[in-house]
Amino acid sequence: MYTFEELKKGALPKHLAIIMDGNGRWAKQRGKLRVFGHENGVKAVRETVENCAKLGIDCLTLYAFSTENWNRPKLEVDTLMRLLVASLKKELKTLNKNNIRLNAIGNISSLPKKAHKELLEVIEKTGKNTGMTLTLALSYGAREELKTAVQQICAKVKNNIISPENIDETIINNHLYTQNLPDVDLLIRTSGEHRISNFLLWQIAYAELYFIDVFWPDFSEQHLVEAIINYQNRERRFGKTSEQLN
């Protein structure tokens, strides 16, 4: 058992990203429909957000719905969108109480009207908060994000706003959905899958990866603290040698 206090001795990841996976299998294990897993996943989201804010994490990014998830059965997609709207409505107060600013990445205009509107409203109503930035990845796909960035940069080249030889990593960064966020320091994926599933491909270039077997609805404060302690015990060399760092 680790405590919050132990964790505060080391450096926290500035940007923590989580692939919240395993809701469907969690429900199946209990003989229930997949949507039951999503309903229980919401609880884990709420707890994780509050714990990260309490800890003092600057940026938390949650993969909530991928561009590929549109291919799921309609009932499941509808349920996820309904849960999104309900959670946004319900959590606005808590976000403000915890000084959390909501942000979204992804092709959010492709969300159902109601979800899109509610999302923009909560983003606006939490916009002045100065604590943690909570980013929801919704209808997000890293390849779609990169494609959009390339289109925007090409348009600027065409209009002589940027010249090709001046395109650098900063310019690319500034055209991504994550333009205001630092690179990911720690990426956690639950459910035992060891893959990235089209999440933040550019931004995780030097992230520490942490895979855990528990299904998302079971992800607890203890799992979060363990993941961060594990992260704190790694040596991030960024291409250098261990000796150079000391």
50 binds Mg ion (CB under 5 A): no
What is the per-residue binding string for ligand IPE in 16-45, x denoting contact by CB under 6 A?
---xxxxxxx--------------------
For Mg ion, which residue of 16, 21, 181, 189 counts as binding (CB under 5 A)?
21
Q: Is 40 an active-site residue? A: no
Comparison of 23 and 126: residue with beta carbon closer to ligand IPE: 23
User: If contact means CB under 5 to 8 A according to the sort of partner, which of ligand IPE, Mg ion, none does residue 88 touch?
Assistant: none
* Whole-number Å distance between alpha carbons of 57 and 149: 28
Q: What tokens does 79 get?
A: 């349920």
Comparison of 193 and 218: residue with beta carbon closer to ligand IPE: 193
Burial class (CB in 10 A: 0-12, 13-18, 19+), 123: middle
Window of 2-10, 13-21, 113-121, 232-240 that interacts with Mg ion by CB under 5 A: 13-21
Q: Least separation, in Å, of the C-beta of 78 and Mg ion?
A: 18
Q: Is 181 helix (H, G, I), strand (E, B) or coil?
A: coil
Cα 5–chain centre separation: 25
Window of 20-28, 137-145, 157-165, 221-229 that interacts with Mg ion by CB under 5 A: 20-28
User: If contact means CB under 5 to 8 A according to the sort of partner, which of ligand IPE, Mg ion, none does residue 230 touch?
Assistant: none
DSSP codes joined into one string, 107-152:
-GGGS-HHHHHHHHHHHHHTTT--S-EEEEEEEE-HHHHHHHHHHH
Do residues 118 and 85 lie in contact, with contact meaning Cβ atoms separated by under 8 Å? yes
Distances 211 to 110, 138, 216, 226 between C-alpha atoms, Å: 30, 22, 12, 12
65 binds ligand IPE (CB under 6 A): yes
Q: Which of 40, 51, 58, 69 is catalytic?
A: 69
Comparison of 123 and 196: residue with beta carbon closer to ligand IPE: 196
Q: Is 21 an active-site residue? A: yes
Do residues 20 and 41 lie in contact, with contact meaning Cβ atoms separated by under 8 Å? yes
Q: What tokens does 74 get?
A: 């309609």
Annotated active-site positions, please? Answer: 21, 69
Residues that bind ligand IPE in the complex, under the rule CB under 6 A: 19-25, 63-66, 68-69, 80, 191, 193, 195, 197, 216
